Amino acid sequence: MKRVGIIGIGTYVPDQIVTNIDLESKIDTNDEWIRTRTGIEERRIAGEEMDTSHMAILAAKRALENASLQAEDIDMILVATATPDHPFPSVACMVQEALGVMNIPAMDVSAACSGFIYAMATAKPFIETDTYKNVLVIGSEKFTKTLDWEDRTTCVLFGDGAGAVILSEVSSDRGILSVDLGADGSGADYLYIDSETGKIKMNGREVYKFAVRQMPESSLHVVDKAGLKKEDVDFLIPHQANIRIIDAARERLGLDKEKVSTTVTKHGNTSAASIPLALFSEIENGLIHEGDVIVMVGFGGGLTWGSICLKWGK
């Protein structure tokens, strides 16, 4: 069986930075509450002209460049998103059109904030079985279009952005070692986009309880499935929703703070884009090294969760 790994990565975040202080003048909130309850300091907000597909396309082009590939080298496009431009066509088809690669399969993956992990897991067997060589996997969200600016319990939490990776065959001692996916539809009412208003609704307490339980569980499970111990993990890239949830996962894995990504401070919660955005930031920071064992773990609406354990490098 071929080993599947990340051979290129690219991201896009909008230029407009909105700080907690900026929000203080708009809604009944304050910087101290947001920082202490969530860790968020600022988020990026896309303008009118920039929808989910536009951010996905920009991130995809950067990932292709990073992998030294041309668009025509891509054999399949998967986009994880909860905020597509339209119910259909998929964002993936819009990316395909923009990249000018015709006749390859393209579809969106819907698993809310776990979507990027689900999409990577979906791509993996196509490469392992030689069905496709290079798969473009994108997480892209314009979550701010779903926000009700009257609801302070949700509107301070989210931001916009996109991250893309190219998955391909890598050497036999690198790449994805194990995958853990799961869902519990009985928690569907805790986090959803209302189909009438198009706005997000969340029971923060219940999602919080689910996340602090499930994120460490899934991380430990995926490490075990890889035949490793938690001590073998070099870096954790968790879904970026709340620093307290991230800390709970970090403590269960027994990792030092320097070994865990916390980009939630500058991006807020970007849903399916948060994991590739965090991964890219840590690569840029020089914290991800060849041969490192990395666990990426997400949770979100559905309720869903998912994690991937991989050995970094080609």
- Nearer CB in complex with ligand UT7: 131/197: 197
The nearest distance, CB 2 to ligand UT7, in angstroms, is 32
Beta carbon nearer to ligand UT7, 27 or 291: 27
113 is a contact residue toward ligand UT7 (CB under 6 A): yes
254: exposed, middle or buried (C-beta count within 10 Å: 0-12, 13-18, 19+)?
A: exposed
For residue 107, how many other CB atoms are within 10 A of its CB?
Answer: 16
| Count of residues of this chain found to bind ligand UT7 when the rule CB under 6 A is applied | 19
> Concatenated DSSP letters for 214-241?
HHHHHHHHHHHHTT--GGG--EEEE--S
Residue nearest to ligand UT7 (CB): 204
Question: In angstroms, rounded to a whole number, what is the distance separating the alpha carbons of residues 69 and 56?
Answer: 17
The answer to whether residue 269 is catalytic is: yes
Q: Which stretch binds ligand UT7 (CB under 6 A): 1-9, 64-72, 78-86, 148-156?
A: 148-156
Whole-number minimum distance, CB 305 to ligand UT7, in Å?
11
The angle at the Cα of 234, spanning 273 to 226, to the nearest 5 degrees, equals 85
Query: Segment near ligand UT7 (CB under 6 A), from 31-39, 73-81, 161-169, 222-230?
Result: 31-39
Between 113 and 308, whose beta carbon lies closer to ligand UT7?
Answer: 113
Q: Is 297 in the site for ligand UT7 (CB under 6 A)?
A: no
Does 252 help bind ligand UT7 (rule: CB under 6 A)? no
From 123, 156, 176, 255, residue interacting with ligand UT7 (rule: CB under 6 A): 156
> Applying CB under 6 A, does 313 fall inside the site for ligand UT7?
no
Q: Is 25 in the site for ligand UT7 (CB under 6 A)?
A: no
Residue 205 in contact with ligand UT7, rule: CB under 6 A: yes
R_g of the chain computed on alpha carbons: 18
Residue from 54, 221, 239, 267 carrying the catalytic annotation? 239
Residue of 192, 278, 298 whose CA lies nearest to 235:
278
**Which residues, at least 6 apart from 48, have a Cβ–Cβ distance to it below 8 Å?**
none
Query: Which two three-digit tokens encode residue 169?
Result: 């065959």
Structure tokens at 294: 């990395």
> What are the phi and psi torsion angles at 309 (to 5°)?
-110, 125
Each residue 32-61 as x (binds ligand UT7 by CB under 6 A) or -, in order, gives -x---xx-----------------------
> Which of the following is catalytic: 155, 221, 269, 309?
269
Contact between 204 and ligand UT7 by CB under 6 A: the answer reads yes
Exposure class string for 285-310: b at 16+ Cβ within 10 A, else e: eeebeeebbbbbbbbbbbbbbbbbbb
172 three-state secondary structure = coil
CB atoms within 10 A of CB 151: 14
* Cβ proximity to ligand UT7, 67 vs 211, nearer residue: 211
CA distance 96 to 92: 6
Assess whether 239 carries a catalytic annotation.
yes
Residue 181 CA to residue 121 CA, distance in Å, equals 8
Site string for ligand UT7, 208-227 (x = CB under 6 A): x--x----------------
> Binders of ligand UT7 among 168-197, rule CB under 6 A?
191
**Residues found near ligand UT7 in the complex (CB under 6 A):** 29, 33, 37-38, 113, 152-153, 156, 191, 202, 204-205, 207-208, 211, 241-242, 269, 300
Annotated catalytic residues are 113, 239, 269
